Structure 1
Amino acid sequence: MTKNELIILVPKGAEYNAVCRGVKAASSAPLVFSIPMGVKPLTQYLEKDFSRSPSQVLIMGLCGSLSPKFGVGDVVLYESCRYEGEVLECDRSFTTQLYHHLKTKVPLVKSLTSNSVVYSTSEKRELAEKFPVEVVDMEGFPALKILSQRGISVAMLRVVSDDSQHNIPNLNAAIDNQGNLQPLSLAREMITQPIATFNLIKGSLQALKSLQKVAAKI
């Protein structure tokens, strides 16, 4: 892949750090930028602060599985993103290029962008029954919509960090209006939900390792 025409965008924090560690192992590392979590914070960032115009943008990070077909650590390549009744396709040429570049069978999935963290198995089940989607995140749709409108080819490569059979903590109160994770609020939520917290930590550690490995192949 042509590195000088490619920029990688990754949610800030552990996901960003994992991707940065991964691309450092590559022979020619593309530029990596951190983005805020959530639809509104990311929309504001892309509209006001992201002025670059590369030919290709790759969105990377973690996602949640809505299907028993995909478990923790699985790498998935997005085919499309759905949000509030609207569906957008990722750039087919770029996605195909990425698929062949990885040289491993990475499944194509349909994704859903949510305004909040989807943390319970019951909500995941409801979303899977309501929409023809297999994974969920909080950034995919606005990134695809805004960047595509600028004529930028967008592909999305993510790693599953929580499956459809286990709860994780409700982290919505720990994310501020700027899309930042607040450590004290996060700690409070985790203390009150020990089993869900165990699932979160275990899944995140495994998924971040997988994210770092796949980033090294970009």
Structure 2
Amino acid sequence: MNLAVDAIFVPHGAEYQAVERGLRQTKTDIKLLPIPMGGEAVAKYYQQLKNKSWQDSINRVLILGLCGSLSSQEQVGDVVLYQDCLFASNSSSSEKQIYQTDTQLTNLIASQLTTKFSLVRGLTCDRIISKVEEKLSLAQVYQADVVDMEGVAILEALPDCSVAILRVVSDDCHYNLPDLNYAFDRDRGRLKTFPLAVALLSQPQAAVRLIQGATKGLNVLQQITTQLFSSK
């Protein structure tokens, strides 16, 4: 039977489009909602969402999207399910708050998957991580497997909901990516077109890897979406 969730949240743009294509191949009428990139924009988005009358009917939420690998164990195209998530803070405090995903919903999703997947710890950063050295350092400090920009913000914004996070790896920890941070509009939670083009053109080899990884990740994301929501 179809996976029983009330809504899917997915970063807008190519990730949203991939999930939308995947859902078109199923009979589900589940709510599919685009979210911005980055924690600040996500927090603002969920504040606005609280004013929507149908928001009260959302109890079980699935987050779909792409992520970056912090471990040689997770390669481009791999599917990961979050067990928990924490935020990469500049604070020197040794205490790191861990945000748990919903175990029951995560296990239900795991039981629906026929594709190989890993249970992981996610790390949420407030910037795009592009350097291999930084990825390896973050993995060591936080004992995390993958990195994203929204995980903790979503779990903080939906404390009364059962939340599961499934992502597909789109970049590994073997090669540097183009630095896209100056193209990132933090307030709007999106990449600015012209600065993005400049960043990609200035680092063509890294840009090719980024595009190839994203393309593979998006294809898997579409397939996984169809797999999860097809009648069985």
* TM-score, length basis structure 1: 0.95
Cα separation, 2, equivalents of 1:42 and 1:172: 17
The 8 Å contact of residues 38 and 149 in structure 2, kept in 1 or not, is answered as yes
Cα separation, 2, equivalents of 1:207 and 1:127: 22
Cα separation, 1, equivalents of 2:3 and 2:100: 23
What corresponds to 2:93 in structure 1? Answer: none
Is 1:8 aligned to 2:30, yes or no? no
Is 1:184 aligned to 2:194, yes or no? yes
What corresponds to 1:43 in structure 2? Answer: 43
Q: Which has the larger radius of gyration?
A: 2
Q: Of residues 61, 67, 74 in structure 2, which corresponds to 1:70?
A: 74
Aligned-pair identity in percent equals: 39
Structure 2, unaligned runs of 5 or more: 90-95
Structure 1, unaligned runs of 5 or more: none
Please say which of residues 2-11 and 101-110 is displaced more in the overlay.
2-11
Cα separation, 2, equivalents of 1:19 and 1:7: 12
Is 1:161 aligned to 2:170, yes or no? yes
Question: Partner amino acid for 1:87?
Answer: I
The 8 Å contact of residues 75 and 171 in structure 2, kept in 1 or not, is answered as yes
Q: Of residues 52, 55, 58 in structure 1, which corresponds to 2:62?
A: 58
Stretches of 4+ aligned residues off by more than 6 angstroms: none
Question: Partner amino acid for 1:206?
Answer: K
Q: How well do the aligned residues superpose, as a CA RMSD in angstroms? A: 1.4
Cα separation, 1, equivalents of 2:66 and 2:166: 9
Please say which of residues 102-111 and 60-69 is displaced more in the overlay.
102-111
Give 1:162 shift.
Answer: 0.2
* TM-score, length basis structure 2: 0.89
Cα separation, 2, equivalents of 1:137 and 1:38: 8
| Mapping 1:63-212, distance limit 5 Å | 63-83=67-87, 84=89, 85-147=96-158, 149=159, 151-176=160-185, 177-212=187-222
The alignment partner of 1:67 has SS state of coil
Give 1:195 shift.
Answer: 1.4
Q: How many equivalent residue pairs?
A: 216
Cα separation, 2, equivalents of 1:105 and 1:192: 36
